[in-house]
Amino acid sequence: MPLPVGPPLKPMLAKLSEEMPRGEGWVYEPKWDGFRTIVFRDGDEVTLRSRNDRPLNRYFPEVERMLLEGLPDRCVVDGEIIMPTANGLDFDGLQNRLHPAASRVNKLAAETPASFVAFDLLAADNALLMDEPLSVRQAKLDELLKAATPKSPTEPALHAAPCLFLTPRTTDADEAQSWFVELERVGCDGIIAKRADLTYQPDVRAMVKIKHRRTADCVVIGYRTHKNGGIGSLLLGVYDGDDLRFVGHTSSFSAKERKELVTKLEPLRTDPPEGFDTDFGPGGQSRWSGAREGGDWNPIEQTLVCEVSYDYVTGDRFRHAARFHAWREDKDPKDCLFEQLRYQ
C-alpha cells in the first residue's frame, strides 16, 4: 500500500512578524538555517524533497542513509537539512553541497556531513495526519522519535553530523524569547510560532516567524528594471578597503515609487565600477538554476547611499532581499563599510 501522501507536496509556510505572539495555545520552535525538506519513508526507500519539490537525495547521501536507520518504516516528516559545526550552523557549506558531480558530492558528504531536524509529522503507517491539530502530530512525532530528543536547544547546531534530531519546542513565550537571542549565536534564523490547534496547510502561510533584523548603509551601485516598467530593484554595495563589494538588492517598491526612481537614477547611468568583479556581482550563478540571476543590470555613479534592513548575511551577501528604509544624503559612500555587516 502506498503512503497516504506523496510528492509533490508543498510545505506549510510562515508569515513574518515583528513581535513574538503570546498567549495560550502557542508553540515555539527555533527557525533552523538550512534547507526545508519533506521526507517520504516507505520501507527501504527514502525520498527527500525541497520546498520547491526538487529532489535532494543525490546531494545528501549521508542524510538518506541516516534517515533509513532512524525513521519509522512508513512515515512522512517535515523538517530541515542543516549543517552543524563546532561553531554553529554553516549555510555556505550547505549550499556548497549542491554540486553536479557525483564524485564531489561523495567527497563533501564525508568531509562536511549534514543532519536533519524533524518538526512535523504528516503521515505514519497508513494514517494521514495533516488534518489533525499540531498538538496531536507533535505528540505522535515525539513518540516515534523519542531517542532523537536533543539535550539542549543548541545541540542540533553543534553536534557532529550526520544526526537525526527532534526540534526543541516550548509553550513559554519568555523561554522562546531567550532562545531568540541564545540560538542566534549558533546560526539559527529566529523563532517559529505555531498554534497548537493548527492543521497542516501546504503552501499556506499559517505559521508565524520572528527573524533577526539589522540595518546597514549601502552604496547604490546600479538597478534592474521592472517587467511592468520603472525600477525593479536597487543593487547594493559596501566598501571593503578600496574594493566595492556587491552585497545584495532591495526591491518591493510600489508602482509610483518605481517611476519616481527612474527620474532619480537614469541621469546617473555610467560604466561598472572600476575593478568591480562582475563574476561575483549582480547576475552571479545560482546553484539551484545554473542560470544568471535576474538578467542585465544598469550601473550608476556611486554617489547615492540608502539605509536598508536585512535579516542575515551568508558569506559576504544578504541572504534575502533587503528592505529599503531611507536615502542617506548625509552619508559618504566611502563610509559604507563591510565591517558594519561583520559586527552586527
Distance between CA atoms of 176 and 28, rounded to whole angstroms? 6
Distance between CA atoms of 59 and 36, rounded to whole angstroms? 14
Q: Each residue of 287-309: b (16+ CB within 10 Å) or e?
A: eeeeeeebeebbbbbbebbbbbe
Residue 336: C-alpha distances to residues 69, 77, 224, 328 (Å)? 50, 44, 21, 11
**Tens digit of pLDDT for each residue in 106-141?**
999 999 999 999 999 999 999 999 999 999 999 999
Q: What is the pLDDT of residue 16?
A: 86
- Dihedral, CA of residue 257, residue 263, residue 264 and residue 270, to nearest 10: 130
Q: What is the pLDDT of residue 84?
A: 97
Question: 3-state class of 302 per DSSP?
Answer: coil
CATH of domain 13-211: 3.30.470.30
Active site annotation includes 209: no
**Tens digit of pLDDT for each residue in 157-168?**
999 999 999 999
Give the number of other CB atoms < 10 A from CB of residue 7.
14
Q: What is the pLDDT of residue 342?
A: 65
Distance between CA atoms of 32 and 187, rounded to whole angstroms? 8
CATH of domain 214-342: 2.40.50.140
Note the pTM of the prediction, 2 decimals. Answer: 0.75
Beta bridge partners of 14: 207
Taking a C-beta distance cutoff of 8 angstroms, is the pair 13, 120 a contact?
Answer: no
Contacts of 54 (CB under 8 A, 6+ apart): 288
Question: 3-state class of 180 per DSSP?
Answer: helix
Distance between CA atoms of 75 and 164, rounded to whole angstroms? 15
Cα-to-chain-centroid distance, residue 325? 22
Contacts 24+ apart (CB under 8 A), 314-317: 314/91, 314/92, 314/95, 315/92, 316/245, 316/247, 316/341, 317/246, 317/247, 317/248
What are the grid coordinates assigned to 25, written together? 495555545
Residue 193: C-alpha distances to residues 21, 138, 218, 253 (Å)? 7, 14, 32, 28
Taking a C-beta distance cutoff of 8 angstroms, is the pair 192, 116 a contact?
Answer: no
Each domain of the chain, given as residue ranges in start order, spans 13-211, 214-342
Q: What single-letter amino acid sits at 301? A: E
Instruction: Assess whether the previous peptide bond of 162 is cis (omega < 30° from 0).
Output: yes
- 55: DSSP letter: B
Taking a C-beta distance cutoff of 8 angstroms, is the pair 122, 202 a contact?
Answer: no
Active-site position among 15, 31, 107, 227:
31
> pLDDT truncated to tens, each residue of the chain (344 aa)?
799 999 999 999 999 898 999 999 999 999 998 999 999 999 999 999 999 899 999 999 999 999 999 999 999 999 999 999 999 999 889 988 998 899 999 999 999 999 999 999 999 999 999 999 999 999 999 999 999 999 999 999 999 999 999 999 999 999 999 999 999 999 898 999 999 999 999 999 999 999 877 888 999 999 999 988 899 999 999 999 888 889 999 988 999 999 999 999 999 999 876 655 544 444 444 343 333 334 578 999 999 999 998 887 877 888 888 989 889 887 889 989 998 886 55
Backbone phi, psi, residue 54, to 5°: -90, 140
